[in-house]
Amino acid sequence: MDIATTDETLRAALRSAFAAGVQGGDSAHDLAHAERVWANARTIRAAEGQGSARVLMAAAYLHDLVSLPKDDPARARASTLAAAAARPVVLRLGFDEDEAGAVCHAIVAHSFSAAVTPRTPEARMLRDADRLEALGAIGIARNFAVSGALGQAFFDPEDPFAWHRPLDDARFALDHWAVKLLRLPETMCTRAGRRLAEARCADMRAFLAMLARDLGTPPPEW
């Protein structure tokens, strides 16, 4: 049995397990995303001063072991499938049943669409860490990459910032900022997560100001 004894051994084992087992990954849910979520989670844990680093690291690396496209009707089940796939991985790495259960709960509860309340510190920190990935420069990149992959328009050319129409984030990538992304700070579960989310939203508003200038139109009040 391959029991991981140090942080770096565990991390290497989790990276390999993700790379070998990932199902349905795209450029928004690849190993690099998992690494960034772990970096965010570690920052949040350092500020919050609680939770198991082992559980959080495993949950961060394996939270998208199964992922489904944004337009897949089964998307709300992806985090449950990912948790089921993660359980044998962490047991094989020497986690006990309680730890494995904590990893699985954090993975199930990280998902926005699953709408499961995070009950543990690790689950709250993973959720915030993953939501940070939807914000800031990296969130901008991921938003437009998803839009490109789905063949979705960036914005309504007649009314990019939806001054005179209802928001529709199924049609326009930018509408998703107003509908969901710029409102994520208020959904954060930890103080550190919320502070980081607010800084990243400020960057996104700076980007909106650039875009408005390119388009010759006033910026939105989102």
Can residue 47 be called a binding residue for a copy of itself (CB under 8 A)? no
3-state secondary structure at position 153: strand
Minimum distance of a copy of itself from residue 209's CB (angstroms): 9
Applying CB under 8 A, among 16, 48, 87, 144 the residue interacting with a copy of itself is 144
Determine, following the binding rule CB under 8 A, whether residue 152 of this chain makes contact with a copy of itself.
yes
Instruction: Count Cα atoms within 13 angstroms, Cβ side, for 114.
Output: 21
Q: Determine if 173 is a binding residue for a copy of itself (CB under 8 A).
A: yes
Instruction: By CB under 8 A, tell whether 188 contacts a copy of itself.
Output: no
Nearer to a copy of itself, 40 or 120 (CB): 40
Q: Report the alpha-carbon distance of residue 117 to residue 120 in Å, rounded.
A: 9
73 part of the interface to a copy of itself, by CB under 8 A: no
- By CB under 8 A, is residue 198 in contact with a copy of itself? no
95-133 burial string, b = 16+ CB within 10 Å, else e?
A: beeebbbbbbbbbbbbbeebebebebbbbbbbbbbbbbb
Residue 75 CA to residue 167 CA, distance in Å, equals 22
Residue selected from 53, 91, 114, 211 as contacting a copy of itself according to rule CB under 8 A: 211
Question: Considering the rule CB under 8 A, would residue 200 count as an interface residue with a copy of itself?
Answer: yes
Say what angle helices 191-215 and 31-48 make with each other, to 10 degrees.
130
Q: Which residues bind a copy of itself (CB under 8 A)?
A: 26-28, 30-32, 35-36, 39, 136-138, 140-149, 151-155, 157, 173, 200, 203, 206-208, 210-211, 213-216
